[in-house]
Amino acid sequence: MNDKIKTIIIDDETLARQITKKYLSTHPEIEIITECSNGFDAIKKINEEKPDLIFLDIQMPKLTGFEMLELLENHPVIIFTTAYDNYAIKAFEVNAADYLLKPMPQDRFEEALKKAKINLQDKISYQHTIQNIIHHNEKKIEKLERVVIKDGTKITILPLDQIRWIEAQDDYVQIYTDNSKYLKKKTMKYFEKYLNANFIRVHRSYIISVDYIKQLEMQPNESYKIILKNDVQLPVSKTGLNRLKTLL
């Protein structure tokens, strides 16, 4: 039976990974099963290896540590690492397992590791901590710059200028582009709040890109429908119509 703490180090900086490995070398109870230099590889390895503990750099290119959290099905205990004060403070405010500000002094590293071991003893409670981190991060967002979507083993980073419209699907939304559609577990309220002014909610089930509107057409019952540039027709509520009149 392997009682060691399975650990993955995730950091795009080689030096940071080396320092973490050096500090962990004095802990025989820790088994470093792999290390990753980007979030894409990290998600794959976490799902495959199911580590107990990860060291997670928050500010990585392509996929940040917080974006990774949203895409993981199960969360190991996390020690966040960051070179940026604002991210570290954010993690601290939501009572994360712990964070390490780079460069990492060894005494602070040992303190974080000790706290992580305590969290490993109550994984159910720790999942609530992770959810708090995700929700807290969402509250700090001013506006979305992109949407990250996980579909099986495939991760798509979707720029906002590719989104044509969004449709409510129970607890999910369907995001439409010119050639594809993506399912993401988020609410319409979330997208209505965090998309930029180029998007408008025209109906309780639809948010559209204003640039993608072809025309607005009155119906016999004096209601309206929107015709998009690909000729898809969507309903417009009275509230949505008022929003459109203000905008157009």
With 70 as the cut, is the pLDDT of residue 88 above it? no
pLDDT band at 1 (very low <50, low <70, confident <90, very high): very low
Residue 67: which of 168, 138, 125, 116 has the closest Cα? 138
Predicted local confidence at residue 158, as pLDDT: 96
Lowest mean pLDDT among 37-41, 197-201, 219-223: 219-223
More confident residue, 129 or 42: 42
With 70 as the cut, is the pLDDT of residue 235 above it? yes
Residue 236: which of 195, 204, 199, 197 has the closest Cα? 204
Residue pLDDT, tens place only, 96-137? 557 888 889 999 999 999 999 998 998 888 888 888 877 777
Sequence-ordered list of residues with C-beta below 8 angstroms from that of 140, at least 6 positions apart, any chain: 90
- pTM metric for this prediction: 0.83
Can you tell me the distance from the alpha carbon of 62 to that of 81, in angstroms, rounded to the nearest whole number?
Answer: 17
For the chain, the average pLDDT equals: 90
Predicted local confidence at residue 38, as pLDDT: 95
Partnered with residue 35 across adjacent β-strands are 9
